[in-house]
Amino acid sequence: MSKASKHKGILITFEGPNGVGKSSLIDKVADLLNISGLGTHLTKEPTNSSLGQFIRANEDNYHGKILAYLVTLDRYFHLNNEILPALENGKIVLSDRYIESSLVLQRLDGLDSEFIWDLNKFFYIPELSVLITAPVEVLEQRLSTRDSLTRFERQCSRRDELDYYLDAANYLAKRGFNVMTIDNGGVSIEKNATIIVNKILAMA
């Protein structure tokens, strides 16, 4: 696995269970970084590429290893065509989902952690992996307001998903990832974004 330090920019990944508020927190972090004069690049997985869109549209149709391989291919595309070029340009890349999500969602889909890790162990290590958590009841309440749910949201419990994210964070920390955990349940987005931005500024 390669380190991000050889590039001008910084890769920050945001992980966490469905309903935890990743998108809102990422947007706020980006706003604060831009105010600080640091250029940001927001991105996500699955990507907006034709492959990423295919994955989103066919999550109900593909399971287990097939879906895991599709996600891995999309991540290679993501790195080569979006993340690495942005890092070379000195951007702070904020990615909504990365390797940790694979260690959770593919595990919920019946695969074991070692198989998932073998697919991902040569990918780029982010400077910081932010795990966003919230109490199970908060996650359930937030998802109850959505008009439609993904297969994982329908079939998996919030408790299992949260526990698997905590397991994945510990798993990656043992493999050299710099993991930061943020409780996004009872704390304001502004406060949590400020905590994350201060961490990033200390690294920039």
- Rounded CA-CA distance 173/131 in Å is 11
Neighbours of 144 (CB within 10 A): 9
User: What's this model's pTM, rounded to 2 decimal places?
Assistant: 0.94
CA distance 63 to 104: 14
Mean pLDDT across the chain:
95
- 161-174 tens-digit pLDDT: 999 999 999 999 99
- Of residues 133 and 186, which shows the higher confidence score? 133
54 Cβ neighbours under 8 A, 6+ residues apart: 70
The answer, yes or no, to whether residue 1 has pLDDT greater than 60, is no
- What single-letter amino acid sits at 79? L
Distance CA 116, CA 30 (A): 30
Domain 4-203 has CATH 3.40.50.300: yes
pLDDT in tens, 90-132: 999 999 999 999 999 999 999 999 999 999 999 999 999 999 9
Cα 90 → chain centroid: 20
Q: Could you give the CA distance from residue 52 to residue 154 in angstroms, rounded to a whole number?
A: 21
Max CA-CA distance within the chain?
44
Half-sphere exposure of residue 43, counting CA atoms within 13 Å on the CB side? 29
pLDDT in the model for residue 6: 62
Question: How many whole angstroms separate alpha carbon 119 and alpha carbon 103?
Answer: 10
Encoded amino acid at 149, one letter = L
Asked if 183 contacts 22 with a C-beta cutoff of 8 angstroms, the reply is no
Residue 4's pLDDT is 44
In the chain, the percentage of residues whose pLDDT exceeds 90 is 94
Strand order, beta sheet including 10-15: 40-44, 92-96, 10-15, 128-133, 179-183
Q: What is the rounded CA–CA span in Å between residue 64 and residue 143?
A: 24
- Residue 72, both tokens: 């891995």
